[in-house]
Every structure is written in C-alpha cells, then in structure tokens.
Amino acid sequence: MLTFSSLLRALPGNVAQGMIWGIMALGLYVTYKILNFSDLTVDGSFSTGAAVGVMLIINGVPALLAVIIAFLVGCIAGLITGLLHTVLKIAPILSGILTQIALYSINLHILGNKANQAVNVNEYHLLLSLRDTNKSILVALLFAIALMLILYWFFGTELGSAIRATGSNEQMAKAQGININLMKVTALALSNGIVALGGALLAQYQGFADVSVGRGAIVIGLAAIIIGTVVVGANKKEHNFLLLLGSAVIGGVIYYIFIGIVLWLKLPTNDMKLFTAIIVAIFLSLPHLKIKKKEKKDATN
Amino acid sequence: MKKLFLILLACLMLAACGSKNEDGEKTYNVGVLQLVQHAALDSATQGFKDALKDKLGDRVVFDEQNASGDPTNCSIISNQFVANNVDLIFANATPALQAAATATGDIPIVATSVTSFAAALGINDWNGTTGINVTGTSDLAVGALKKQAEQIVELFPEAKKVAIIFSSAEANSVAQAEEIEVYLEELGLQSARYTFSDSNDIAQVAFNACEWADVVFAPTDNAIASYASADQFSKPVIAGEEGICKRIGVATVSLSYYQIGYKAGEMAYDILENGKDPATLPVLEENEMSKMYNAALCEKFNVEVPADYIEVK
C-alpha cells in the first residue's frame, strides 16, 4: 500500500488544506511579522470563524456571504484583544490568552451550545469541500491572492504605513505623532478577521465546525510563516512584500505536504505530533545552519 | 535544500519498490480513523478489529491512524484513505465520521462512538438510516440509571440506605441524582445526597456518606472519575459507568465501547463480504448495556457476582 502513486493521489487534498491554513497564516503574519505582537487570540478566533460560517450556512445564508460575516466577527475578537492591551494595559500574550479563553464559551454559544455542528456537503452549496479537492485548491488560491493583493494595497496606504511604523519602532512612531494604540487595535482586528475567514473556509472544507478546531492554530500558522520564509529565502528585507505574503501561504502548503508524507509513511500514529514537531524544528534551524555553513566556508577560504 | 529533496525522493522511490503484496484475492484494506487516544475509543477500535479478524481472519489489513485529538487531522487522514482507495473506512467518534463522510461519497463508512448520526451528518429527517455511504453504531445509553438502581437491589438485597455522591457543580450529575432518586424510591430504598464542590473535599464527603449508607451510588461525575479513590469508601459503590467502576465501584451497568465497536465490525463485514448497502443498513441506536464488576473490590466487600456479569478491565 506504500506506493508513490498513493502519495501523489493524496497530494491535492494536502495542498488544499495547507492553502487554507496558509490563508490563516496571512492573518497571523499581520500581527507576528508586521506589528511584532505575539497574538494568541487566533486559536479562539479561528474556531469563531468556523462556527459563524457553519451556523450561517445551515440557516440559509450563501456561503460567500457567510465567510465575509465570519471575517467581520473575527475582527471583533481582535478588537477585544486590542482593547484589553491598549486600554487596560494587559500584556500582549495575556490579552490574547484572555480573549481566546472567553471565545471558547462564546463559540459554544454560536454553535447552539453544542461542541460540534455539521455542514453536510450533500445538502448545502459550499465554496469548497474535501469531496472536490481540485476545486478547493482553486477557491483557496483565489482567496489567498485576493487577500494578498488587499494586504499589499492596505500596507501601502497612510494607515497601513503607520501600522508598519508602529511594528518596527513603537517609540519612533509615537514621536511622529502616530496613535500607536489605534494602530495596534486596527492590526489585531484585521489579523483576526483574516484568521476567522480561514476558519470559515476550513469548516466548509472538512464539513463541520468543532469548538476545538482552532486548538494549536497558532503553531500551524507560525510554522507556515517560518517554513515559507526559509523556502522562499525571504529573510532579506529587500524582498517584495507580495512575495513575503505569498511565502506564508506556500509555507502552509509545504507544512501539510509533510504531514501527508508522515501519514503516508505509516509511522506509529501516536508519534504523529512528535514528527510534526521535528519537521518544524528542522525548518526553524535551517537558516541558522546555513549561516554556520557559510561562516565555515568563509573561514577556510 | 536540493540535497535534502534528493534524499527524500530516493527514500520515496525505495519505499515504492518494496510494496508489491497483491497475493491474496479478497484481502480488504480498511482505514481506521480514531479521533483521539482515549480508553473508550481505544476499546471500540479494538472491538471493531476483533470482529473483522474473527470473520475474515488475515484477509483484512488495517491502516490505523489517530488524529491525536486534533479534529482537522481527521480531514487529512480521510484524504489519505481516499487516495489509497481503501475498501472501507472505520470512523471512531463524531469529527472522524464527519471528515470521512465529507471526503468520500462512495467508499463505505462504518462509524461508532457517535451519539447522534443525524446531528453528526446534519440529516434533518432522520429515519434510522443515513441514505448515504454511512452506517454504524451509536454510543447512546438509554435507561442506564434505572438498571443501576435495580443492580443495587440485585447485589445488596439487605441494603436500605443509598448515598448518592457527586459534585454539585456538575449539572449532569445533579440531573442523574434527581432521576435515580425516583427509581430508588420505587424500589423501597432510602436515599440521600452527599455533595462536594471542591474535589479536595471528596474524602471527607465520602467518609460521611459511608457512615450513613449501606451502599454508595456514584453517577457519571467528572470529578469522581478523576479524583476519587477506592480507599475513600468503606462501603461498596455502584458506579455510573465503566471507568468509574474500574476506579472505585464494585459493579455497574454500562455501555461497553468494545461491544459497540465489535458490532460496527460485524456491520463492516456485512458490507464487505455480503454486499450490504450502508445507505439502507440501519444505524444501531438501541444499545444493550452490560453488567460489569470490579473483581478486586468485589472481593474486598465479599460481593457474590452473578454469572451474567463481565469483568471490568
């Protein structure tokens, strides 16, 4: 059963799922890379997006509109983390954790006080589904490109530039008369909106929303960003911003291709998380190992 | 990077070469997808595999995967099963079923440890069959409390007073206490509630309960399941389910996850060998409950175990 062709046949599904997580990683990119803010809200807001999306669809709202509303609800989640941090002066990580914890209960309410809600692909018109992986890749790709273009445009505007300035040097930005609190709140809202959008897409793809679907989302998102950075070689500042954003999506795809390989190799299933961690650790250490190798080469010359 | 990919590619090719095992004519490949490592789900998977092995011998190969508690892993595993073109998927727990049913509309899926197939699959007009490529066994336990009340009389005919011990913070436990009080009264037994809200108080509350009562009843309470220990009870305990019975109880009437898994395995056999259609094969919702006993504690309290009891392991 361990044939190369079965790995290839599984590839479209792995790519589709990776691309959806890549979209989620785009959201994380806004806070993690641009704003320089470790936001743990995403584990909650990803589930929120899934829950909102599914509940709207089963109540007759068109799937595309449901995804957009999920985006807006995600923005509110980010807004709350932003307010906890800027108004109540709670540390970034704690603000995110607090919102994440609160969202667990809120997500249960959204799901009608159930832990799990199905959205059956046979009964509803969904944007994408595991049933049709090729179409899912196309739809996810369209969403990713649209979001990348919007982010590219947005971070070129005055507001977007002010957010970038806040992220790279808070004191300096303040001195320039930028309202840094407003910038942080805006970036957090935008970020969690995109994360929730990713959640709404994933819920349709897998056919259900589960209250624990976002557990560990931050790890997958960060892994996607870091893998993307390593593969595209986007460490250097001179790279095009669009390419940097694209690297996060590519990172998500690569991450899931590797998970597919781990599954395909039929390694002991209880060790799956261990192998996943090893893959991420390898990618995390690659840039460092490369530098070391170069230093060695330079030294011998 | 290039080297890494070359090595990887070489590994893949080697793996591809060593996989020609198409000798037996009717060997079935069954994908086993379990949501999380958990005692009940593990038993169900074991039951499923035992049933198919009993029926098919070595004509069945299992590809066992565990989503390790992460629902999104269920989709990636289902996708792999579909790519491998397995003959049947066994989905253990609700998200596993949902992901598998989304992944394929053709490959038969047999599920278990799912309380409501209608809710899991989003079927509004439920008539006992799914109408799609899915069937299985439910883990719904109906009427367990009534049977547990009767068990108290069966094992301890001399008992007059029953203490019900549970955490007052758990709504589910309060509801169970209310229900079993009615049955105990019908059976002519006196009952009293012994509750705690902090798991540190269990020992004290258990002591008081055992001072007063002849038999203690522990419903399916999470605090009891996690923190109570057998030493805290000087009187025999009847438990609300298998896990608590294993911990502190002499006996229980409980759903056996091994059994529902085994029954799912028999359904899988009917589909694979007898050509039954999962769309019309009714989901098994009425579960027989098994009477179970804890050998060590039965010995401690000198309880004579009737022959129809099975041992909790």
B33 and B97 fall within a common domain = yes
Q: Report the pLDDT averaged over residues A276-294.
A: 80
CA distances from B264 to A9, B74, B312 (A): 28, 19, 21
Q: Which residues contact A47 (CB under 8 A, 6 or more apart)?
A: A103, A104, A107, A199, A209, A210, A211, A212, A213, A214, A215
- A301 within domain boundaries: no
Task: Provide the residue range defining the domain that includes B99.
Answer: 28-140+259-282
CA distance A254 to chain B (A): 13
**Residue A45 reports pLDDT greater than 90:** yes
- B170 within domain boundaries: yes
- B17 within domain boundaries: no
B36 and B60 fall within a common domain = yes
B70 and B32 fall within a common domain = yes
- A273 within domain boundaries: yes
Confidence tier at A270 by pLDDT (50, 70, 90): confident
**Three-state DSSP class for residue A10:** helix
CA distance A208 to chain B (A): 7
- A281 within domain boundaries: yes
B303 and B190 fall within a common domain = yes
B173 and B56 fall within a common domain = no
- A299 within domain boundaries: no
Whether residues A269 and B95 touch (CB distance < 8 A) is answered with no
Name the residue among A1, A9, A216 with its Cβ closest to that of B70.
Answer: A216
Angle (CA) A112-A116-A121 rounded to 5° is 105
What is d(CA B112, CA B99) in angstroms, rounded to the nearest whole number? Answer: 14
B56 and B132 fall within a common domain = yes
- B133 within domain boundaries: yes
ipTM for the assembly: 0.89
**Residue A28 reports pLDDT greater than 90:** yes
Whether residues B15 and A4 touch (CB distance < 8 A) is answered with yes
pLDDT of residue A235: 60
Taking Cα atoms as reference points, which of A102, A129, A100 lies closest to residue A205? A129
B80 and B224 fall within a common domain = no
- B4 within domain boundaries: no
Q: How many domains does chain B have?
A: 2
Residue of B17, B64, B80, B113 for testing the chain A interface, max A β-carbons within 10 Å: B80
- B21 within domain boundaries: no
- Under a CB-based contact definition with an 8 Å cutoff, are residues A155 and A34 in contact? yes
DSSP states along B130-146: -SSSEEEEE----SHHH
Whether residues B99 and A7 touch (CB distance < 8 A) is answered with no
Whether residues A13 and B61 touch (CB distance < 8 A) is answered with no
CA distances from B204 to B212, B222, B273 (A): 13, 18, 57
pLDDT of residue A83: 97
B159 and B300 fall within a common domain = yes
- All residues of chain B having their beta carbon less than 8 Å from the beta carbon of residue A17 are 72, 75-76, 79
- A101 within domain boundaries: yes
Residue A170: both structure tokens together: 């808070």
Question: How does pLDDT run across A64-75, given as a tens digit for each residue?
Answer: 999 999 999 999
Bridge partner list, B238: B217, B251
Please give the mean pLDDT across all residues of chain A. Answer: 92
Residue B238: both structure tokens together: 């009847």
CATH number of the domain residue A76 falls in: 1.10.3470
pLDDT of residue B220: 86
Residue of A135, A263, A290 for testing the chain B interface, max B β-carbons within 10 Å: A263
Range list of H helices, A207-265:
217-232, 241-264
B62 and B154 fall within a common domain = no
CATH number of the domain residue B67 falls in: 3.40.50.2300
H/E element, B163: strand B161-167
Residue of B12, B36, B61, B76 for testing the chain A interface, max A β-carbons within 10 Å: B76
pLDDT of residue B170: 76
Bridge partner list, B64: B32
- Under a CB-based contact definition with an 8 Å cutoff, are residues B45 and B93 in contact? no
- All residues of chain B having their beta carbon less than 8 Å from the beta carbon of residue A260 are 76, 79-80
Give the range among A168-177, A178-187, A281-290 with minimum mean pLDDT: A281-290
- All residues of chain A having their beta carbon less than 8 Å from the beta carbon of residue B1 are 231, 286
B191 and B123 fall within a common domain = no
pLDDT of residue B17: 38
**Residue A155 reports pLDDT greater than 90:** yes
Angle (CA) A15-A21-A25 rounded to 5° is 130
- A300 within domain boundaries: no
Name the residue among B12, B74, B98 with its Cβ closest to that of A118.
Answer: B98
pTM: 0.83
Q: How many domains does chain A have?
A: 1
- All residues of chain A having their beta carbon less than 8 Å from the beta carbon of residue B107 are none
What is d(CA A16, CA B96) in angstroms, rounded to the nearest whole number? Answer: 19
pLDDT of residue A259: 87
Bridge partner list, A162: none
B101 at the A interface (CB within 8 A)? yes
CA distances from A292 to A285, A295, A297, B233 (A): 11, 5, 9, 63
Phi and psi at residue B250, to the nearest 5°:
-85, -35
B199 and B135 fall within a common domain = no
CA distance A136 to chain B (A): 12
Per residue of chain B (313 residues), give pLDDT as tens. Answer: 455 554 554 444 444 433 334 445 689 999 999 998 888 889 999 999 999 999 999 999 999 999 988 888 999 999 999 999 999 999 999 999 999 999 999 999 999 999 889 999 999 889 999 999 999 999 888 888 999 999 999 999 999 999 999 988 777 788 889 999 999 999 999 999 999 988 889 999 999 999 999 999 999 888 898 889 999 999 999 999 888 999 999 999 988 889 899 999 999 999 999 999 999 999 998 777 889 999 999 999 999 999 989 888 7
pLDDT of residue A238: 64
Q: Which residues contact A253 (CB under 8 A, 6 or more apart)?
A: A14, A15, A18, A19, A22
**Residue A211 reports pLDDT greater than 80:** yes
Name the residue among B21, B63, B76 with its Cβ closest to that of A17.
Answer: B76
pLDDT of residue B268: 97
Whether residues B79 and A216 touch (CB distance < 8 A) is answered with no
Task: Provide the residue range defining the domain that includes A262.
Answer: 4-292
B269 and B194 fall within a common domain = no
- All residues of chain B having their beta carbon less than 8 Å from the beta carbon of residue A223 are none
pLDDT of residue B34: 95
Range list of H helices, chain B:
2-17, 39-56, 71-84, 94-103, 117-121, 144-155, 171-186, 202-212, 222-227, 242-247, 257-274, 295-300
What is d(CA B229, CA B245) in angstroms, rounded to the nearest whole number? Answer: 11
